[in-house]
């Protein structure tokens, strides 16, 4: 079968509306049509991915494709091949060949087969995303030859169930839509001033007390004053069995869930549960009902360190992720400055000041996680007072923290407010639902370049990838979560997956218009596109 290589790549991909854009793609005339008799063929570990394909395609097709154990191409079939010799495709790459005779998906690792399936779903009519049998449709795939692999290994989104609890069912759906865009990392911001959202067996009060607040601020923290509250209790948490389910569900879709346990700041819900963890143990605090940076901070006693490490033990049992996020941002030091016992602790440890104390605090966690075979990641404030030896930095206050960390030989995930804060407005605030502030239009996300010019080639290797943040203060429910995430996450998916050289906003927009047909069928509550400016 001669493949057409005429015309530019953008023209071909624009026609198919693939997001993220594959590394290489050639189209050819003709289609392959999937019928109830089309077998899925796989063997060994590839069988699990073929089963995922079977399950994924069945609802809309209204039939389960027969699964045959075997290997090697065969006519009329969809063949799933694990081939370790295809090392140039990396851990997540794949090749997808569709001819009029059949389909072959090859990858060196299981993840590649899964991402190949995601491309295949996008090549089918958008009706494939329906959840019940669609009548009168031909399930055709256009003839293509695709070679595809990601640019970055960390392709993340972060959600914040601490500010508004995200029900498990919504999280599972969120993972499904992420995986469709070939994201592979979901950071769960599990603890904050306004709620503690993970069951810890050793410390039940964290969820008996810390998972519930009396009421919630109405309107924008900064602009809607005097403050009003809704008078309605809010809360919820994931049991350990819920967490196991979420982690397994994500792993089946080759998404790693990275848990975040905030320290030493953003600790109010924990301190409300166990006042001895705070700097004023005689004070009774409630779980916070208002947004913004809070003064309450963990005290740096041996007991608090032991408490947090106990929490991390249970977290590590639940989350196989190599990276464990310990927050580290916005730790206001006023209470440390005012506390005699904390000042005595600083002297006892031979430290210079509160910044060094924060660094010491993080180091206790870094040592602990490293001893357990894990890696610490934290927001860029963990650079203050000296970076812990094993730490990876998530750069949010611009790129500078990430640049400094990479220069020191530390790994970095880029998550700057300027390009990845999906809690910012997507258009003029007067036309948009209430949000935190800021402005982050789709095109700005698309223009993001995670590797700063300041870094040389060797240092650039430390940029693991990038992540979009969905802070939850103004995201009260699943519909709003999707509205803030999409289509900006489509743009970010392309930034972290597709080659830098092929970046072209106009082409992306044309593909996105096709792609939104899929999201419509999935009932993803994406923000509508602005009219095209060109």
Q: Could you tell me the CA-to-CA distances from 352 to 6, 159, 264, 388 in Å, in that order? A: 66, 36, 18, 16
Q: Do 155 and 464 meet the contact criterion of CB atoms below 8 Å apart?
A: no
CB nearer to ligand ACM: pick between 71 and 329:
329
E strand or H helix that includes residue 518: helix 505-521
Minimum Å gap between C-beta 491 and ligand ACM is 20
* 481's tokens: 């979560």
Minimum Å gap between C-beta 90 and ligand ACM is 30
Minimum Å gap between C-beta 533 and ligand ACM is 30
Which residues fall within 8 angstroms of residue 498, CB to CB, at 6 or more apart? 20, 21, 22, 23, 151
Number of Cβ within 10 Å of residue 198's Cβ equals: 26
CB nearer to ligand ACM: pick between 68 and 290:
290
Binds ligand ACM (CB under 6 A): choice among 71, 101, 215, 330: 330
* C-alpha R_g of the chain: 24
Site string for ligand ACM, 483-502 (x = CB under 6 A): --------------------
CB nearer to ligand ACM: pick between 295 and 343:
295
Active-site residue, selected from the candidate residues 83, 91, 310, 330: 330
Task: Pick out residues in 288-327 that bind ligand ACM (CB under 6 A).
Answer: none
DSSP state of 532: P
Q: Which of 305, 190, 296 is nearest to 242 (CA)?
A: 190
- Asked whether position 379 contacts ligand ACM by CB under 6 A, the answer is yes
Q: Do 511 and 487 meet the contact criterion of CB atoms below 8 Å apart?
A: no
Active-site residue, selected from the candidate residues 148, 192, 193, 494: 192
Minimum Å gap between C-beta 330 and ligand ACM is 5
Minimum Å gap between C-beta 434 and ligand ACM is 18
Range list of β-strands (E), 355-408: 375-379, 392-395
Minimum Å gap between C-beta 396 and ligand ACM is 4
CB nearer to ligand ACM: pick between 111 and 481:
481
- Is residue 330 annotated as part of the catalytic site, yes or no? yes
- Is residue 449 annotated as part of the catalytic site, yes or no? no
Q: Which of 385, 369, 452 is nearest to 412 (CA)?
A: 452
CB nearer to ligand ACM: pick between 112 and 327:
327
- Let me know if 348 is exposed, middle or buried by CB neighbors in 10 A (0-12, 13-18, 19+): exposed
CB nearer to ligand ACM: pick between 396 and 486:
396
* CA contacts within 13 A on the Cβ side of 225: 3
Minimum Å gap between C-beta 285 and ligand ACM is 20
| Alpha carbons 115 and 182: distance in angstroms, whole number | 6
Minimum Å gap between C-beta 266 and ligand ACM is 8
Range list of β-strands (E), 380-488: 392-395, 412-414, 463-470
* 56's tokens: 């994924």
CB nearer to ligand ACM: pick between 34 and 362:
362
Question: Phi and psi of 139, rounded to 5°?
Answer: -90, 80
Q: Do 270 and 206 meet the contact criterion of CB atoms below 8 Å apart?
A: yes
Task: Pick out residues in 387-406 that bind ligand ACM (CB under 6 A).
Answer: 396
Range list of β-strands (E), 226-382: 228-229, 234-235, 256-263, 323-327, 375-379
Q: Which of 20, 114, 146, 59 is nearest to 521 (CA)?
A: 59
Active-site residue, selected from the candidate residues 12, 189, 266, 325: 266
- Is residue 454 annotated as part of the catalytic site, yes or no? no
Minimum Å gap between C-beta 329 and ligand ACM is 4
| Alpha carbons 316 and 319: distance in angstroms, whole number | 5
CB nearer to ligand ACM: pick between 360 and 396:
396
Residue nearest to ligand ACM (CB): 329
| Alpha carbons 471 and 484: distance in angstroms, whole number | 10
Number of Cβ within 10 Å of residue 105's Cβ equals: 28
* CA contacts within 13 A on the Cβ side of 49: 28
CB nearer to ligand ACM: pick between 80 and 396:
396
Q: How many residues lie near ligand ACM (CB under 6 A)? A: 4
Q: Which of 206, 231, 207, 203 is nearest to 217 (CA)?
A: 231
Binding site for ligand ACM (CB under 6 A): 329-330, 379, 396
Residues annotated catalytic, as ranges: 192, 266, 330
């Amino acid at each position: 079968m001669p493949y057409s290589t005429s015309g530019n790549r953008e023209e071909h991909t624009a026609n198919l509306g693939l997001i993220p854009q594959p590394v290489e793609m050639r189209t050819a005339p003709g289609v392959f049509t999937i019928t109830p008799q089309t077998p899925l063929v796989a063997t060994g570990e590839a069988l699990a991915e073929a089963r995922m394909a079977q399950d994924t395609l069945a609802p809309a097709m209204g039939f389960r494709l027969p699964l045959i154990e075997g290997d090697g191409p065969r006519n009329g079939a969809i063949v799933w091949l694990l081939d370790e010799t295809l090392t140039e495709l990396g851990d997540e790459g794949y090749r997808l060949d569709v001819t009029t005779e059949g389909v072959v998906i090859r990858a060196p690792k299981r993840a590649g087969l899964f991402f190949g399936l995601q491309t295949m779903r996008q090549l089918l009519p958008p009706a494939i995303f329906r959840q019940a049998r669609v009548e009168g449709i031909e399930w055709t795939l256009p003839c293509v030859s695709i070679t595809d692999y990601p640019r970055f290994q960390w392709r993340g989104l972060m959600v914040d169930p601490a500010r508004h609890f995200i029900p498990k069912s919504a999280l599972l759906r969120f993972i499904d839509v992420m995986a469709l865009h070939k994201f592979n990392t979901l950071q769960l911001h599990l603890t904050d001033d306004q709620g503690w959202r993970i069951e810890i067996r050793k410390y039940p009060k964290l969820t008996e007390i810390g998972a519930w607040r009396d009421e919630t601020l109405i309107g924008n923290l900064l602009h809607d004053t005097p403050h009003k509250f809704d008078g309605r209790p809010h809360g919820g948490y994931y049991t350990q069995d819920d967490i196991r389910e979420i982690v397994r569900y994500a792993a089946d879709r080759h998404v790693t869930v990275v848990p975040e346990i905030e320290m030493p700041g953003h600790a109010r819900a924990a301190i409300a549960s166990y006042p001895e963890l705070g700097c004023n143990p005689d004070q009774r605090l409630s779980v916070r009902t208002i947004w913004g940076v809070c003064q309450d901070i963990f005290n740096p006693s041996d007991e608090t360190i032991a408490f947090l490490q106990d929490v991390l033990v249970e977290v590590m049992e639940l989350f196989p992720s190599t990276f464990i996020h310990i927050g580290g941002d916005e730790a206001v030091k006023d209470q440390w400055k005012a506390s005699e016992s904390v000042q005595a602790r600083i002297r006892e440890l031979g430290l210079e000041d509160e910044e060094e104390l924060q660094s010491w605090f993080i180091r206790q966690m870094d040592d602990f996680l490293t001893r357990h075979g894990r890696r610490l990641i934290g927001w860029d404030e963990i650079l203050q007072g000296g970076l812990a030896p094993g730490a990876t930095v998530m750069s949010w206050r611009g790129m500078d923290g990430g640049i400094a960390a990479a220069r020191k030989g530390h790994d970095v995930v880029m998550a700057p407010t300027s390009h990845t804060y999906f809690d910012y407005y997507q258009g003029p605030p007067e036309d948009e639902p209430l949000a935190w502030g800021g402005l982050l239009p789709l095109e700005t996300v698309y223009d993001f370049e995670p590797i700063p010019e300041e870094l040389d080639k060797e240092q650039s290797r430390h940029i693991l990838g990038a992540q979009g943040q969905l802070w939850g203060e103004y995201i009260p429910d699943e519909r709003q979560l999707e509205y803030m995430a999409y289509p900006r996450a489509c743009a970010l998916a392309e930034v972290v997956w597709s080659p830098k050289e092929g970046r072209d906003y106009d082409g992306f927009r044309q593909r996105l218009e096709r792609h939104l047909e899929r999201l419509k069928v999935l009932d993803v509550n994406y923000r509508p596109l602005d009219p095209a400016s060109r």
